[in-house]
């Protein structure tokens, strides 16, 4: 008996010691979407710079924002979407990036920098990471007509076979564009109409998901799922019955970009990280892992698989982009209005 306790004391002490002694070096705290970067990229970064990466994940912009704002955890690099970056700039939460430390910015296609100006005028605070559209992923064997409209996800025929996106702006955005309204509307009557439609949709929905849509569509749990275009290549690789479409009514085009919060721990490390990500070969490696469209022109040129390089899903043609809109930050009051209406939808 005594031996056991002596052993337990020794083991605990040893563990405590190793736990405390580790981690004195340089670190960079990265706050990113789940499964949105190749873990090997972190390893390569650590090898090259000696800076250790501490990674943490969020599932929605709305979940990320309060953490940065509260500052209980200080992150160095964060990857929000367009409208959220606009909000964070408005609220003075972001630091201006010193682009002398990010020479690889030249690899980013200028057209993306230009579209970034809609939420980050002058490109002072952000560096584009990935972009894409929002659309419907459907299983060819489970639908009996070609899907080209948002009407499918409101169709009773597919009751129990629909995976709806569990993200307030996305859910309202697609409903509004189906109804022919602006995705950034601040008109309450239009919003109420969208809410009513979403409430009608509730009984038809199998589950409200964001990241889980991937696994469920691969497993053929549902016929239709609302999904980001970046998941389309991956899911098709795993199950070739799946097809991605941007509905004809129009949809959302988004850009996720790296930003540095004002309360970061180490700005230079953050910039070194952003610079590393913008390296052509790293961006290519990363693209092959996450399959989200890259704004990095060097990386895109280096893609070997011709099908992917010319993929209409990963790099949609202009005519598709023409019918897509970017979300804008609508201010605190409208944000609250959207949130309340979304909660009402989900508690039928």
Nearer to another protein, 40 or 48 (CB): 40
Q: Tell me: does residue 262 bind another protein (CB under 8 A).
A: no
CB of 73 to another protein, least distance (A): 5
If one asks whether residue 8 binds another protein (CB under 8 A), the answer comes out as yes
- Token pair of 325 as six digits: 């809109």
Sole window of 29-37, 86-94, 186-194, 313-321 interacting with another protein (rule: CB under 8 A): 29-37
Which residues is 52 bridged to in the sheet? Answer: 27
Q: DSSP letter string over 30-58? A: EEEETT-S-HHHHHHHHHHH-PEEEEEEE
Q: Is 55 left (phi over 0), alpha (psi -120 to 50) or beta?
A: beta
Which of 11, 157, 192, 331 forms a contact with another protein (CB under 8 A)?
11
* Cβ 212 vs Cβ 116: under 8 Å: no
127 strand-pairing partners: 258
Residue 303's Cβ-side half-sphere holds a number of Cα atoms within 13 Å equal to 24
Print the binding letters for residues 138-177 with another protein: x by CB under 8 A, - otherwise: ----------------------x-----x-----------
Q: Min. distance of Cβ 110 from another protein in angstroms?
A: 32
Rounded to the nearest whole angstrom, what is the least distance from the CB of residue 112 to another protein in the complex? 25
Measured CA angle at 111 (ends 257, 233), to 5 deg: 60
CA–CA gap between residue 158 and residue 343 (Å, rounded): 23
Contacts with another protein by CB under 8 A lie at: 1, 4, 8-9, 11-12, 15-16, 18-19, 23, 29, 31, 34-35, 39, 54-57, 59, 62-63, 65-67, 69-70, 72-73, 75, 160, 166, 202, 205-212, 214-216, 218-222, 238-239, 339, 343-344, 346-347
């Amino acid at each position: 008996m005594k031996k056991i306790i002596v052993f337990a004391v020794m083991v605990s002490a040893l563990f405590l010691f190793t736990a405390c002694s580790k981690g004195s070096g340089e670190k960079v705290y990265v706050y990113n979407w789940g499964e949105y970067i190749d873990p090997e990229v972190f390893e390569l970064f650590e090898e090259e710079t000696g800076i250790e990466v501490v990674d943490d994940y969020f599932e929605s912009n709305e979940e990320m924002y309060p953490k940065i704002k509260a500052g209980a955890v200080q992150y160095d690099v964060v990857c929000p979407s367009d409208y959220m970056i606009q909000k964070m700039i408005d609220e003075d939460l972001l630091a201006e990036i010193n682009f002398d430390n990010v020479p690889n910015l030249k690899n980013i296609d200028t057209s993306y920098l230009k579209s970034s100006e809609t939420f980050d005028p002058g490109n002072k605070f952000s560096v584009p990471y990935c972009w894409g559209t929002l659309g419907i992923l459907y299983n060819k064997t489970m639908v009996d007509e070609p899907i080209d409209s948002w009407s499918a996800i409101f169709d009773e025929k597919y009751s129990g076979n629909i995976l709806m996106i569990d993200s307030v702006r996305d859910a309202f955005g697609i409903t509004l564009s189906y109804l022919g309204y602006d995705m950034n509307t601040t008109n309450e009557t239009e919003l109420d109409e969208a809410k009513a439609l979403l409430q009608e949709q509730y009984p038809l929905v199998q589950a409200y998901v964001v990241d889980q849509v991937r696994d469920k569509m691969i497993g053929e749990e549902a016929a239709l799922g609302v999904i980001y275009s970046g998941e389309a290549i991956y899911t098709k690789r795993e199950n070739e019955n799946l097809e991605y479409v941007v509905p004809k009514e129009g949809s959302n085009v988004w850009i996720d970009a790296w930003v540095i919060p004002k309360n970061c721990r180490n700005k230079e490390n953050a910039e070194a990280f952003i610079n590393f990500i913008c390296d052509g070969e790293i961006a290519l490696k990363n693209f092959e892992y996450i399959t989200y469209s890259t704004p990095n022109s060097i990386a895109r040129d280096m893609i070997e698989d011709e099908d992917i390089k010319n993929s209409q899903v990963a790099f949609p043609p202009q005519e598709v982009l023409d019918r897509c809109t970017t979300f804008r930050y609508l201010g605190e009051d409208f944000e609250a209005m959207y949130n309340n209406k979304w909660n009402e939808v989900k508690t039928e």
